[in-house]
Amino acid sequence: MTTTPTTPWVFLKGHGTENDFVILPDPDNALDLPPHVVAALCDRRAGIGGDGVLHVVRSAAHPEARAMAGEAEWFMDYRNGDGSVAEMCGNGVRVFARYLQHAGHTGAGDLAVATRAGVKHVHLAKDGDVTVRMGRAVLPPEQVQVTVGGRGWPAYNVNMGNPHAVAFVEDLTHAGDLLGTPGYAPAAVYPDGVNIEFVADRGPRHVAMRVHERGSGETRSCGTGACAVAVAAARRDGADPAVTGLPATYTVDLPGGRLVITEQPDGEIEMTGPAVLVGEGRIAAEWLESSFG
């Protein structure tokens, strides 16, 4: 049962390489966030607008994060733009960490953040960039293919805590109009949907990508997607760090900016990029009442 709020909600707006988020500080997990309200908040015409919502909760106050409270004080309860719950968002973690710094909960240096994909370790650099240790990729054995407009490509199946299908194309225009959902097969490989990346080479260890995020459509950037792309590119290029014993670093250009991804020989993946807070304000009680209704 949802309860209509009687007071305005505080919010902030932020982005990481133009992957943008509505940030809702809620240390005690007191806010009711049904999917239709999250979707209304992310509506770019009738709401605040965003690719998703970063719900900021103390780990000890959230049932999905209490087991991680001893390692990470804060839990990133991430929601996609359509209101669905997501395991992880790489750009979101950087913006989440920037908010915690802005609010005085942490300073420059190292920080642990709880997510549905486990605890992520973050470094806030003094120059403004944020590095996230994203964990290790899993490459499930199933072969997959993605399609757009009747044309298909084989894709690397990469899991970064959330599922990705990475297809290499000659030109990013081949991805066509990603406002619609690209096809993928076999469907049973991704029972909960998949993020689909289209990748073109720009130079040695340098690629560009477009992404269709499940629950959000095409977005300006996707951090876990950029990690999946770097992992797939390293395998394609014969640069798997587990085989070579050397780190593999790729520069990944997205429509919203640039990320640098490094996969270490032990499999740990590090993502470095910007995180920007745009502003803050209050969501009117009247708007909340109409949205909950």
224 in a known ligand binding site:
yes
89 is catalytic: yes
**Two structure tokens written together for 273:** 């990029």
80 in a known ligand binding site:
yes
Instruction: Fill in the DSSP letter of residue 204.
Output: T
195 in a known ligand binding site:
yes
249 in a known ligand binding site:
no
Question: Which of 86, 137, 146, 222 is labelled catalytic?
Answer: 222
223 in a known ligand binding site:
yes
How far is the C-alpha of 106 from the C-alpha of 104, rounded, in Å?
Answer: 6
151 in a known ligand binding site:
no
Beta-strand pair 130-136/268-273: antiparallel
Question: Which of 68, 86, 89, 95 is labelled catalytic?
Answer: 89
* 246-270 core/surface letters (b: 16 or more CB in 10 A; e: else): eebbbbbbbbbbbbbbbbbeeebbb
159 in a known ligand binding site:
no
42 is catalytic: no
90 in a known ligand binding site:
yes
**Two structure tokens written together for 76:** 């990133």
Cis omega (within 30 of 0) for bond into 186: yes
How far is the C-alpha of 276 from the C-alpha of 142, rounded, in Å?
Answer: 37
162 in a known ligand binding site:
yes
Active-site annotation, residues: 89, 222
Annotated binding site for substrate: 19, 80, 90-91, 162, 195, 213-214, 223-224
Annotated binding site: 19, 80, 90-91, 162, 195, 213-214, 223-224
